[in-house]
Amino acid sequence: MIGRRHLLQLVLTICLGWFSGLLWAPPALALGGPQLPLGSPAPDFTLPTNAGDGSVSLADYRDQWVVLYFYPRDFTSGCTLEAQRFQRDLDEYQARHAQVIGVSADSVNSHAEFCDAEGLAFPLLSDPKGMVSKAYGSWLGAASLRHTYIIDPDGMLRARFLGVRPAIHSQEVLATLDDLQNA
């Protein structure tokens, strides 16, 4: 049987552990790796794409907002729905001076076919080894995870979405973008 003194120590230890957890927050973690703190510089990158001159760099979009979304595979049901929703809302993103960019491990040729099949007018970037996905904490094994990051015109991470629901995600991103731009 546990003594009264030991019971009191146990309760005190639990309470202090719980309280200290309120005061100190560990770095954000997600399936795929550690997440960079919001307000920190977004990792820069250059990746091949099916659009434009064949490559896209984050630096190409300085002075505008960037919605950088990672997704597992072209032509899968969730990824197709997510891309369709971003395309449907593309005029709203452009009105907010925001560029939508998709990243997956698929090839440039797969991206070109996916864009043609779905009528996508924003760039999809090929990250076959997951180097950029890893830098953003969005890589698991051989594919990018469904994560999205909002990057401000100065190149700073301002918001992140982990484990998104494709059907409503674009509208969530637009609402957050409005909040950030009106802050």
Residue 158, helix vs strand vs coil: strand
Helix (H) or strand (E) holding 140: strand 139-140
Give, in order, the Cα–Cα distances in Å from 16 to each of 7, 13, 20, 25, 65: 14, 5, 6, 15, 42
The span from the CA of 109 to the CA of 117, in Å, is: 12
The two structure tokens encoding residue 30: 């997600």
**Phi/psi of residue 44, each to 5°?**
-75, 160
From the candidates 79, 103, 124, 174, give the one annotated as an active-site residue: 79
By the 8 A CB rule, do 170 and 85 touch?
Answer: yes
Is residue 79 part of the annotated active site? The answer reads yes
Instruction: Enumerate the active-site residues.
Output: 79
